[in-house]
Amino acid sequence: MAVSTNDLKNGMTLDLPEGLFSVVEFQHVKPGKGGAFVRTKLKNVRTGAVLDRTYRADEKLEQAIIDKRDMQFLYRDGADYVFMDTTSYEQLNVTEAALGSAAQYLKEGDTANLALYEGEIVGVDLPASVELTVTETEPGIQGDRVSGARKPATLQTGLVVQVPLFVNPGDLVKVDTRSGEYLTRA
């Protein structure tokens, strides 16, 4: 579907010859002399690379229709992750590469918002934080209470985060999905 550069909005996805891009910001410029133009900052949906582009006013670009679906992670099937659409109950096998870093935060039963373009996953939106169980960490030693001291802990998904000394194996911890940092005990 063709869309005019005058109708661009932040977050809109465009299908350009270089790939799939999301509009980060745009500015309509009308100089005193010459024709108007639109200055844009575009982010590649697949790689995250940022591109600055300038288009003439009213130039036509191809808009990509992204289908965002709430999907529940059911289980792992070999190397694939099996998701179920929460509205139609249809199942979808997804590779770990398509999920990217989001795979480190998913446990069975969790819900994620998958963005699909022509059947291909182009993005995964997770909740701001997830609760995961600590499977392995060094025990905290009595009297070892240095302020701000941290130790590595392996979580149930295989993710390793730095946690305070008082966290023990079996504890439930809350982890920020944007930065991958420990927030608090749950």
Of 19, 34, 62, which one is at a domain's C-terminal end?
Answer: 62
Claim to verify: residue 83 and residue 96 sit in the same structural domain: yes
Domain region containing 25: 2-62
Of 108, 125, 142, which one is at a domain's C-terminal end?
Answer: 125
Claim to verify: residue 33 and residue 21 sit in the same structural domain: yes
- Name the residue with tokens 């935060």: 105
Domain count, the chain: 3
Instruction: Work out the number of other CB atoms within 10 angstroms of the CB of residue 74.
Output: 15
Q: For the segment 3-38, what is each residue's pLDDT rounded down to a tens digit?
A: 888 888 888 888 888 888 888 899 988 888 888 898
Confidence of residue 112 (pLDDT cuts 50, 70, 90): confident
pTM of the model: 0.69
DSSP E strand boundaries for 18-159: 19-29, 37-44, 50-56, 60-62, 67-77, 80-85, 91-95, 111-117, 120-125, 129-137, 150-155
Claim to verify: residue 164 and residue 146 sit in the same structural domain: yes
What is the pLDDT, as a whole number, of residue 144?
61
Backbone angles phi, psi at 174, to 5 degrees: -100, 130
Q: For the segment 72-90, what is each residue's pLDDT rounded down to a tens digit?
A: 989 888 888 888 988 888 8
Claim to verify: residue 111 and residue 152 sit in the same structural domain: no
Claim to verify: residue 143 and residue 176 sit in the same structural domain: yes
Distances (CA, A) of 62 to 5, 27, 65, 75: 10, 19, 10, 37
Is the separation of the CB atoms in 133 and 170 below 8 Å? yes
Claim to verify: residue 121 and residue 134 sit in the same structural domain: no
What is the pLDDT, as a whole number, of residue 89?
87
Q: For the segment 144-180, what is each residue's pLDDT rounded down to a tens digit?
A: 666 677 888 888 888 888 888 888 888 888 988 888 8
Confidence of residue 41 (pLDDT cuts 50, 70, 90): very high
CATH number for position 105? 2.40.50.140
Measure the CA–CA gap between 27 and 30, rounded to whole angstroms.
10
Query: What is the average pLDDT across 116-137?
Result: 85
Claim to verify: residue 56 and residue 7 sit in the same structural domain: yes
CATH number for position 49? 2.30.30.30
